[in-house]
Amino acid sequence: MTPARDPDATDRDATDLDDDFGFAEPSTDQSFENALAKARDGDRLSVDDATELLATGTDTEGIDPVRKEAVLELADRRRREEVGDEVTFVANLNNNVTTACNTGCLFCNFKDSAHAFEADSDADHAGFTKTPAESREIVEDALDMGVYEVCSVSGLHPALALNEEHHEILRSYDDPESEVNYKPPSAYATDPGTYVDQIEAMSVGGIHVHSMTPEEAYHAARGTDWDYETVYRELAAAGLDSAPGTAAEILVDEVRDVICPGKIRTDDWVAAMEGAMAAGLDTTSTMMYGHVETVAHRAEHLGVIRDLQDRTGGITEFVPLSFIHQNTPLYRHGVVDSGPSRDEDELVVAVARLFLDNVDHVQASWVKSGDAHGLKLLNCGADDFMGTILSEEITKRAGGDYGEFRSFDDYVDMIAAIGRTPVERSTDYRTRRRIDPDDGPHGPRLGPRADGTPMLPDSSSGADPDGESASADD
Ligand SMILES: C[S@@+](CC[C@H](N)C(=O)[O-])C[C@H]1O[C@@H](n2cnc3c(N)ncnc32)[C@H](O)[C@@H]1O
Ligand SMILES: Nc1c(NC[C@H](O)[C@H](O)[C@H](O)CO)[nH]c(=O)[nH]c1=O
Ligand SMILES: N[C@@H](Cc1ccc(O)cc1)C(=O)O
Ligand code: SF4
């Protein structure tokens, strides 16, 4: 077995590292039992309730296994009442446009210093930048395989601008590099085009384009007075269909100050999400947890998402992102000694299900957790199992080792094995197709060019041609 994380990490409690950052020790006026009773009665939970459930009581050290099971059981029951026994997944691909980024987030090993991408640089790097034409070709190939969605998140390449007008504005600064993180495309070996060019290139053949995180939207507006709605409207006109709610990390500024001081703050992230929804786009929501934060920070983060959803209603799902630590600056510099334990993964999914009473879907991730633990998370409150993705760079570069592709047959076998119903979904969950496990072999049918033929990853896509190999033993 090639574990994606240190098996010894299972005993770690998220509160172990509190003192290092001056974060307050989690404690509330609420009791675990009372919070559990509220969850059982279906009452709306407070942030303090969520803190107690995530900690299995702030009055005791570590995670109490009996209390944990009580939380998971309630969440599993709530999932069944709210969304039934279906487990959804989407036929999608990831297309990261560039790994060039100078933002310097300490949890991220996806990015490469943008200087290495300059035309006159002889620095070695393992990164890439794709032209719009290359992005289109990758999406076209995936469409032919039956794919429905392209999920595209990228580094904040200094030459990326929203459109030509944005290039002009950025060029007009006295010192564009230091004032607005801008260098012209001519400085680089490969020109990524503009954000509008990339979205137009990927918006082909009726595919659903899921792209432009709040951080990318900030980059697409830097140095201008454009608001987020204006930026997202321009992108929607170019073919953008929905926006990923990554860049959320932990939506508490004292945590962002430690792990991503170069990123937008919580208020700005919320403003970007509101801008996307005002422009008519659906969004997803995420939380990347298990690094320096406490359970109280996780609870506060869930509060930010629930408030946002109360105001907008445009969040289709919550995607917990379990921190993958091995190759990251946070781990290499000794700031953390692991990612979250499996107990913590289970509690995050369960408390998300119980607390986020206005978000229908909670995702389990085989990329982050592997197949076996991903299936376990589907019994802790989750009802979605991601997508076929074909290639994965973010988790892989951070040290994750659970592969980059799952076929429809893999999905059907896994979901049927836990007694649930496999369902192919659209990105927005509005279109679904129940799959009969006995009627294989299985392939996508919702994609614009899908005819039910089983998907095989193209070896040139960078995907593991034998997606099972990475997970066969987990
Ligand atoms: C790599 S960024 C790419 C998009 C864009 N640069 C941004 O930050 O929004 C996308 C997301 O990947 C997630 N991510 C990055 N490194 C990770 C890691 N080591 N473990 C888990 N998730 C990670 C973070 O939540 C991050 O917001
Ligand atoms: N959880 C991860 C995802 N999830 C994205 C989904 O596959 C899909 O794009 C979304 O549900 C919208 O339909 N993607 C990754 O690349 N890595 C993950 O860990
Ligand atoms: N989960 C995000 C997309 C995403 C998540 C994690 C990643 O590492 C990359 C992309 C979404 O569905 O909106
Ligand atoms: S998370 Fe995004 S913004 Fe931060 S360093 Fe990685 S690619 Fe850049």
* Structural domain contains residue 69: no
Predicted local distance difference test score (pLDDT) of residue 459: 55
Domain that holds residue 397: 9-15+84-461
* Structural domain contains residue 43: no
Q: Which helix (H) or strand (E) holds 379?
A: none
Q: Provide the percentage of residues in the chain whose pLDDT is more than 90.
A: 91
pLDDT of 424 higher than 70: yes
Predicted local distance difference test score (pLDDT) of residue 471: 33
Give the number of the atom of ligand 4 that is nearest the alpha carbon of residue 108.
6
**Rounded-to-integer distance, Cα 143 and Cα 313, Å:** 30
pLDDT of 115 higher than 90: yes
pLDDT of 450 higher than 90: yes
What separation in Å is there between the alpha carbon of 387 and the centre of ligand 2? 6
Lowest mean pLDDT among 18-32, 114-128, 351-365: 18-32
Predicted local distance difference test score (pLDDT) of residue 474: 26
* Structural domain contains residue 355: yes
Q: Could you report the predicted ipTM of this complex, rounded to two decimals?
A: 0.95
* Residue bearing the bigger pLDDT, 14 or 198: 198
pLDDT of 12 higher than 80: no
- Helices vs. strands in the chain: H and E counts, helices first: 18, 11
Q: Which residues of 16-52 are buried (b: 16+ CB within 10 A; e: fewer)?
A: ebbeeeebeebebebebeebbebbeeeeebbbbbbbb
Q: Is the CB of 245 under 6 A from ligand 3?
A: yes
What separation in Å is there between the alpha carbon of 427 and the centre of ligand 2? 10
151 known ligand binder: no
Q: Is the CB of 101 under 6 A from ligand 4?
A: yes
Predicted local distance difference test score (pLDDT) of residue 468: 34
pLDDT of 4 higher than 50: no
Sign of CA dihedral 17, 22, 23, 27: positive
105 known ligand binder: yes
Residue nearest ligand 2's atom 9 by CA: 151
Mutation pick for ligand 1 pocket among 99, 106, 153, 292 (CB with most ligand atoms within 8 Å): 153
What separation in Å is there between the alpha carbon of 261 and the centre of ligand 4? 11
* Structural domain contains residue 40: no
* Structural domain contains residue 286: yes
Q: Is the CB of 284 under 6 A from ligand 3?
A: yes
Ligand nearest to C-alpha 365: 2
Helix axes 366-377, 408-417, angle to 10 degrees: 30
Mean of pLDDT over the chain: 93
164 sits in the region (left: phi over 0; alpha: psi -120 to 50; else beta) called alpha
Predicted local distance difference test score (pLDDT) of residue 458: 65
Residue nearest ligand 4's atom 4 by CA: 105
Segment 209-219, tens digit of pLDDT:
999 999 999 99
Bridge partners (DSSP) of residue 315 are 283
What separation in Å is there between the alpha carbon of 246 and the centre of ligand 3? 6
pLDDT of 16 higher than 60: no
Predicted local distance difference test score (pLDDT) of residue 408: 98
Predicted local distance difference test score (pLDDT) of residue 93: 98
* Structural domain contains residue 99: yes
Q: Provide the percentage of residues in the chain whose pLDDT is more than 70.
A: 92
Segment 309-335, tens digit of pLDDT:
999 999 999 999 999 999 999 999 999
Predicted local distance difference test score (pLDDT) of residue 3: 29
Answer yes or no: are the C-beta atoms of 17 and 36 closer than 8 Å.
no
What separation in Å is there between the alpha carbon of 365 and the centre of ligand 2? 8
pTM score over 0.90: yes
pLDDT of 287 higher than 70: yes
Sign of CA dihedral 117, 118, 119, 124: negative
Give the number of the atom of ligand 2 that is nearest the alpha carbon of residue 384.
11
Report, as an integer, the average pLDDT of 137-161. Answer: 98
pLDDT of 85 higher than 50: yes
Can you give 125-194 as a three-state secondary structure string? CCCCECCHHHHHHHHHHHHHCCCCEEEECCCCCCCCCCCHHHHHHHHCCCCHHHHHCCCCHHHECCCCCC
* Structural domain contains residue 149: yes
What separation in Å is there between the alpha carbon of 309 and the centre of ligand 4? 25
Domain containing residue 408: CATH number: 3.20.20.70
What separation in Å is there between the alpha carbon of 385 and the centre of ligand 4? 24
Mutation pick for ligand 4 pocket among 96, 98, 99, 101 (CB with most ligand atoms within 8 Å): 101
Predicted local distance difference test score (pLDDT) of residue 27: 93
Segment 357-375, tens digit of pLDDT:
999 999 999 999 999 999 9
Segment 380-412, tens digit of pLDDT:
999 999 999 999 999 999 999 999 999 999 999
pLDDT band at 14 (very low <50, low <70, confident <90, very high): very low
Predicted local distance difference test score (pLDDT) of residue 239: 99
Residue nearest ligand 2's atom 11 by CA: 386
The total of structural domains in the chain comes to 1
* Structural domain contains residue 61: no
Q: Is the CB of 319 under 6 A from ligand 3?
A: yes
